[in-house]
Structure 1
Amino acid sequence: MTRRLKYVPISLLLFAAFLPQSLARQSISIKVNADVDISVDIFTPTNKPDGKLFIWQPHEKGLQNPDFQLAQQLADMGIEVWLLDLLQAYFLSNTASNMSTLNGDGFNKLIAAAHKTGKTIIVGGSGRGIVPVLRGLRDWQLANKDHSRFAGAVLLSPKFYTQTPEPGTPVVLLPIVKATNSRLFILQPDKSPYFWQLKRSVDALQKTGSDVFVKTLRGVRDRFYFRADAFAKEQQASNSLARDLSNAIKLLSIQQDNFRQAVVSLSKATNVPAKKKERGLEIYRGDPTPRPLNLPKLNGDFIDLKSLTGKVVIVNFWATWCPPCVHEMPSMQRLNNHFKNKPFTLLGVNMAETNAEVAKFLKTKVDISFPIVMDYDGRALKDWGVFAFPTSYVIDKRGKIRYALFGSVEWDNADIVSKIERLINE
């Protein structure tokens, strides 16, 4: 049975824990200010409660059916869950840029209300949803001296960076990352651009005092638990996600700090672009000398980028699990065919997959003739500063990077063909 209340005083929150199982889920409203009320679905434990309360802000794509399923599964494990959608509360559409504009007021109020229940509090967020969670946590820490019942935050596929940088430009951490001091448990898929930035993220969090625990979710992509195109391993990981969240919550709850000093200074927030930029070959802005690249093909023969001097080379970092990478491959082959009698070649660099995975993909999914080399441990990816998939670099006949882009394009469009021709004719 579901109760829907326009506004409920905090005293009712205390009463919620004692509702019978038939009233195990209800909706309440937390007032942020005169214009904003946050609607919260409360899932009270159907088994013996363990005294933990988990506040969950979903991904910037908005509340999904799996979020409700996760909340119910956690409640079945004895954990009370408060499920909400801050974007809905602020009447904003489901975008990363909107999520990044939210200050900490809403989540601060949620933590304050939860703290009055006397339970051990853990907060959590997914994707860009971690931004208002961390901002609200910091605001609450600054305003309160008693942190004894706060255990920490669980961050699923967290997006700690302002935006995907253009190739050759540095990545920029969100200011709140450098102003967070808490106990954190990160659940990080390894088929994600953020996986390769994980050390940088953890180092920044630890520098301001955070205790950081990490579990790598093997073989899955960001948003795996609500993707329409989820493959078998992602479906398995989705089935295990409630258990992973429960384990993270239990680990964080082993120890709570009576007081943890919040970071007072916070640099000005950097806006996340509201619209995606139309992709195209852009002049490369980094060091034009490429990093060494000497990797094996599937048959074990190595290709050294230096051996291709005298040709225009497109180095393309890609993966079989990356839909944009797969989408652009036919046009790359058409470009390769167009310049087949010219000093030109494409070189695909597969990112940290196995020979078996890549061989099966090349046999069943695409028809290409340009060479593929294997970056088994992701070292080349990190050396080249690759952040997004796919990322491509255009190298001239003298061995200098001239153009680059991240994201997929139609490689045989007139603009790209013209730019490649000019490089060939230099």
Structure 2
Amino acid sequence: MAALLLALAGMARAELAIPLGESGDQLDVRVIEPPEGVSADGPLVLWVVNQYGDMAGPDSVAHALARRGATVWMVDVMDSLFLPRTDVNVRNVDGKPVGSLIQRAIEEDRPTVVVAADRMAVPTLRGMRWWQERTHDPDALAGAVLIFPSLYRGAPVAGEEPELFSIIDATNLPVMLFQPERGVYRHRLLDLRERFLQAGSDLFVQVIPGVRDYYHMHLEQPQLDSLDQLATVMEDPAEARAVQALPGDILRSIPLLAGADHPSTVRPIDPERTTPVDRQTGLQPVEPQEAPDFELTDLEGNPQGLDPDFDGVQIVNFWATWCPACVEEIPSMERLASRYPDQLKIYAIAFKQSPDHLREFMQDFDVSFPVPVDPDGQVAAKYDAFAFPSSFLVAADGRIHYSVNAGIIWDTEEVDAIVRELLEIEVE
């Protein structure tokens, strides 16, 4: 089917295999070349496919790049190495695969950039450093374009500061970062920028207005001839505009990156921060700390915030409709609330979502607790909410005693025991 779509689009498709040493492993490259009649003297774009594999959105953007004269090498590292597509496996990929890709690409002697999104940003930066250690010409690669990169070792205990992979502090080649305005990591952008700059990387940042993470992956059907009709096939007009702009954004990044500093000296890397951290699941006890107050408005127009005089437990939950685990836990959260109608308050704070969308979405749920809207994510940032959903249990003393950074079933015996503990009810 993919071959048929490519043929219909008039694009040349070629295959390229890049050996990875003497082990027999190789990278399988899909080459998307400019169509007939379009000059092929543009840049070489190395597109490191996301951990989820080939998708309609990135493929459509790659073909749009080819229509502008670029040649795109699409590489699915996980598929080439026969690795299961798990978060841990992605984050454990070392620099050799992407580094070997870069090493082969610069033989083409043309402006070259590597593009990656989400968790594949970490193997991509490792690959740049691997190549940097072996090259005599660091200027041969313009740099990397990272789209909503996930550069953290994993989700810590909810409320604790997440830790960046050490490759960030070991990257001094130039990077362009496309950060969605409504993305999960938007409020961490300044700190991330400072880390790159401290490492010596010329970091360029472009905030993509009105969209959230994965915006270019929400296209369901490939648009291989043109991106002009995206407004009719994508639900979100802002996402349609952002995807239409992405090929131009990438191409404009290349001269910026190429003109930046390309050090030949490789930065040292901290081996203690090269592996992902184990995800913390279930309610975790934390050192009690004052719960940040908030002033938000719920879907009925009522003001919502922590009640300082409430002699019970208050649960501050951060969620979003695009998060399956968030949605799955709503019914059990309501069942827990029904057990303690006078002793438990729940605030299901919706992260960066429109009230109109939420009202329609919540029609499928019968809940007694309010759904306040955190339109710019400032309250989530106060709580250092990193993963979604994240929840914080506030006791009558106004302090957070437990937290969880994943979806859970709320009406279990284990959770009930914790609630009773905080309510100082003797467990039978």
TM-score, shorter chain, exceeding 0.5? yes
Counterpart of 1:12 in structure 2 is none
Establish whether residue 40 from structure 1 lines up as the match of residue 41 from structure 2. Answer: no
For the 8 Å contact 1:103–1:132, the answer to whether it is kept is yes
TM-superposition CA deviations, 1:318-367 (whole Å, max 9, x none): 22333322222122122111111x322112222233333333333x2322
The structure-2 alpha-carbon separation of the partners of 1:407 and 1:201, relative to structure 1 and needing over 3 Å to count, comes to: same
Establish whether residue 265 from structure 1 lines up as the match of residue 268 from structure 2. Answer: yes
CA deviation after TM superposition for structure 1 residue 413, in Å: 1.7
Secondary structure, in 3 states, of the residue corresponding to 2:329? helix
The structure-2 alpha-carbon separation of the partners of 1:375 and 1:66, relative to structure 1 and needing over 3 Å to count, comes to: closer
State how many pairs are aligned.
Answer: 402
Secondary structure, in 3 states, of the residue corresponding to 1:193? coil
In structure 1, the gaps of 5 or more residues are 4-20
- Listed as ranges, the matches of 1:63-78 within 5 Å are 63-78=54-69
Whichever residue aligns with residue 265 of structure 1, its letter is: P
CA deviation after TM superposition for structure 1 residue 226, in Å: 5.3
Establish whether residue 358 from structure 1 lines up as the match of residue 345 from structure 2. Answer: no
In the superposition, the TM-score normalised over structure 1's length comes to 0.84
Secondary structure, in 3 states, of the residue corresponding to 2:179? strand
Whichever residue aligns with residue 157 of structure 1, its letter is: F
Q: 2:246 aligns with which of 234, 244, 258?
A: 244
- Listed as ranges, the matches of 1:116-135 within 5 Å are 116-135=107-126
Secondary structure, in 3 states, of the residue corresponding to 1:115? helix
Question: Relative to structure 2, which stretch is displaced further, 158-167 or 191-200?
Answer: 191-200
Larger RCO of the pair (alpha carbons < 8 Å, separation 6+) = 2
Report the identity percentage: 25
Q: 2:187 aligns with which of 170, 179, 196?
A: 196
Establish whether residue 393 from structure 1 lines up as the match of residue 392 from structure 2. Answer: yes
Counterpart of 1:29 in structure 2 is 17
CA deviation after TM superposition for structure 1 residue 54, in Å: 0.4
Establish whether residue 175 from structure 1 lines up as the match of residue 174 from structure 2. Answer: no
TM-superposition CA deviations, 1:22-58 (whole Å, max 9, x none): 8932111112201122121222222112430000111
Work out the CA distance in 2 between the residues paired with 1:178 and 1:141. Answer: 15
CA deviation after TM superposition for structure 1 residue 87, in Å: 2.1
For the 8 Å contact 1:121–1:149, the answer to whether it is kept is yes
CA deviation after TM superposition for structure 1 residue 169, in Å: 2.2
Work out the CA distance in 2 between the residues paired with 1:361 and 1:258. Answer: 48
For the 8 Å contact 1:225–1:234, the answer to whether it is kept is no
In the superposition, the TM-score normalised over structure 2's length comes to 0.84
Q: 2:217 aligns with which of 204, 208, 225?
A: 225
Question: Relative to structure 2, which stretch is displaced further, 151-160 or 86-95?
Answer: 86-95
For the 8 Å contact 1:28–1:40, the answer to whether it is kept is yes
Secondary structure, in 3 states, of the residue corresponding to 1:30? strand
The structure-2 alpha-carbon separation of the partners of 1:347 and 1:32, relative to structure 1 and needing over 3 Å to count, comes to: same
Establish whether residue 49 from structure 1 lines up as the match of residue 49 from structure 2. Answer: no
For the 8 Å contact 1:225–1:235, the answer to whether it is kept is no
Question: Relative to structure 2, which stretch is displaced further, 106-115 or 164-173?
Answer: 106-115
Counterpart of 2:340 in structure 1 is 339
RMSD: 2.9
Establish whether residue 206 from structure 1 lines up as the match of residue 197 from structure 2. Answer: yes
Work out the CA distance in 1 between the residues paired with 2:373 and 2:236. Answer: 23
Establish whether residue 409 from structure 1 lines up as the match of residue 408 from structure 2. Answer: yes
CA deviation after TM superposition for structure 1 residue 409, in Å: 1.6
Counterpart of 2:282 in structure 1 is 280
CA deviation after TM superposition for structure 1 residue 161, in Å: 0.2
Work out the CA distance in 1 between the residues paired with 2:66 and 2:270. Answer: 38
Work out the CA distance in 2 between the residues paired with 1:239 and 1:343. Answer: 47
TM-superposition CA deviations, 1:2-23 (whole Å, max 9, x none): 99xxxxxxxxxxxxxxxxx989
Work out the CA distance in 2 between the residues paired with 1:27 and 1:85. Answer: 13
Whichever residue aligns with residue 51 of structure 2, its letter is: E
For the 8 Å contact 2:15–2:31, the answer to whether it is kept is yes
Counterpart of 2:259 in structure 1 is 256
CA deviation after TM superposition for structure 1 residue 309, in Å: 3.2
Secondary structure, in 3 states, of the residue corresponding to 2:290? coil
For the 8 Å contact 1:148–1:257, the answer to whether it is kept is no
The structure-2 alpha-carbon separation of the partners of 1:239 and 1:34, relative to structure 1 and needing over 3 Å to count, comes to: farther
Work out the CA distance in 1 between the residues paired with 2:309 and 2:375. Answer: 21
Work out the CA distance in 2 between the residues paired with 1:374 and 1:257. Answer: 41
Whichever residue aligns with residue 256 of structure 1, its letter is: G
Work out the CA distance in 1 between the residues paired with 2:308 and 2:12. Answer: 67
For the 8 Å contact 1:180–1:262, the answer to whether it is kept is no
For the 8 Å contact 1:191–1:222, the answer to whether it is kept is no
Whichever residue aligns with residue 247 of structure 2, its letter is: L
Whichever residue aligns with residue 29 of structure 2, its letter is: V
User: Which 4+ runs in 1 deviate beyond 4 A?
Assistant: 226-229, 298-301
Secondary structure, in 3 states, of the residue corresponding to 1:113? helix
CA deviation after TM superposition for structure 1 residue 95, in Å: 1.8
Question: Relative to structure 2, which stretch is displaced further, 371-380 or 34-43?
Answer: 371-380
Work out the CA distance in 1 between the residues paired with 2:243 and 2:305. Answer: 42
Whichever residue aligns with residue 359 of structure 2, its letter is: A
The structure-2 alpha-carbon separation of the partners of 1:70 and 1:282, relative to structure 1 and needing over 3 Å to count, comes to: same
Counterpart of 1:109 in structure 2 is 100
In structure 2, the gaps of 5 or more residues are 4-8, 222-232
Whichever residue aligns with residue 281 of structure 1, its letter is: L
The structure-2 alpha-carbon separation of the partners of 1:106 and 1:235, relative to structure 1 and needing over 3 Å to count, comes to: farther
CA deviation after TM superposition for structure 1 residue 289, in Å: 1.7
